Amino acid sequence: MAKSEITAPIKVTGNSYYIPSMSNTGLFKGYVIDPGSSGYEELKGVHVHSVLITHGHNDHFRHACEFREKGARVIASKDDALLVRNPEVNLRGLFSWAKPPMEMVTHFFQGNACEVDEYIEEWQDSSIWAVPLPGHTLGEYGFITEDGVFYSGDSLYSEQIWGKYKLPYSIDRNLCRESLQKIKTLDYDYVVPGHGVPMPRQEALMAADYHLEALDRVDDIILELTAEPISTEDLVTEFSNRLELYKSINNYWLTVVMLKGHLSDLIDKGKMKYQLENYCMYWYRV
């Protein structure tokens, strides 16, 4: 969605609002949550005392520094503050810590560095509280307001998003599962996900189950494709073909990272083995 198409804040309930866009931005009593698509210009006239960041992906904090320049405090988790302060870490992560050629990294992944003033772990407000939901990143948090509105970042995808992306991105499949199970037990009436439309609780619970099934489906496909030893690169190709993923360098990077997370978990569970042969890493199911 282009910037000009960004709409005025929409009330979810009580004092909890959101601005729909490519990445949704939340608003609650002077807090702006995940200013990835909406910045100071879009929120002119709204008093913002603090910026809450669910996780350190650029599409969730791109405009944080604009609010900080106007005096707002920026609050992120200890783990993900590293990514907000030094967004290049995310890019290096994709490229095994080497410096990637910038032409291989789209704007979507490139960050607008911002100082973090306070850690979520040390921040407290009786009207809105933080819930750790690691898996998509190590330090992801969701925020639940006293109105019963849960801003879930990228810890939960709506079914609408599944049709578009098909890929349950996580860096740690097991942590991701635990966070989804936790989401099913939390107390809230509405979820405002990072992407897609808000969901009433019942729909969010179904989305959590769908997300959990999607993670299992990834394991199943990996186990099918590793009946014979297969190289990392061939596995990425076969897996992407199976899910008919959108052909882009973005999706390639996301798939590489996500598959490695699943392979790691399958090895821990004793379902997968690996062998290095002729300088090439092969994976095969047990």
Q: Which is nearer to Zn ion, 154 or 265 (CB)?
A: 154
Please list, in sequence order, all residues whose beta carbon lies within 8 angstroms of the beta carbon of residue 134, skipping any fewer than 6 positions away.
79, 140, 172, 175, 176, 179
Nearer to Zn ion (CB atom), residue 170 or residue 226: 170
Q: How far is the CB of 266 from Zn ion (least distance, A)?
A: 23
Burial status of residue 279 (CB atoms within 10 A of its CB: 0-12, 13-18, 19 or more): exposed
Taking the least distance from each CB to Zn ion, the nearer of 6 and 171 is: 171
Residue list 114-133, contact with Zn ion (CB under 5 A): none
CB of 57 to Zn ion, least distance (A): 3
Residues 6+ apart with CB under 8 A from 111: 58, 61, 62, 83, 84, 87, 88, 90
Distance CA 284, CA 271 (A): 9
* Residue pair 236/242 in contact by the 8 Å Cβ criterion: no
Instruction: Give min distance, CB of 59 to Zn ion, in A.
Output: 7
CA-CA distance, 209 to 197, in Å (whole number)?
Answer: 17
Binding to Zn ion (CB under 5 A): which residues in 137-166?
Answer: 154
Site residues (CB under 5 A) for Zn ion, limited to 229-258: none
Q: How far is CA 97 from the centre of its chain?
A: 20
Report the alpha-carbon distance of residue 206 to residue 200 in Å, rounded: 10
Q: Tell me the window of 43-51, 57-65, 120-128, 177-185 that interacts with Zn ion (CB under 5 A).
A: 57-65
Residue bearing tokens 């291989």 = 104
Least Å from the CB of residue 55 to Zn ion: 6
Which is nearer to Zn ion, 57 or 62 (by Cβ)? Answer: 57
CB count within 10 Å of CB 148 equals 15
CA distance 278 to 286: 21
Task: Out of 20, 33, 57, 84, name the contact with Zn ion by CB under 5 A.
Answer: 57
Size of interface with Zn ion, in residues (CB under 5 A)? 2
166 to 205: interface string for Zn ion, x by CB under 5 A: ----------------------------------------
Q: How far is the CB of 58 from Zn ion (least distance, A)?
A: 9
Which is closer to Zn ion, CB of 22 or CB of 197? 22
Q: Which is nearer to Zn ion, 57 or 68 (by Cβ)?
A: 57
Q: Which residues bind Zn ion (CB under 5 A)?
A: 57, 154
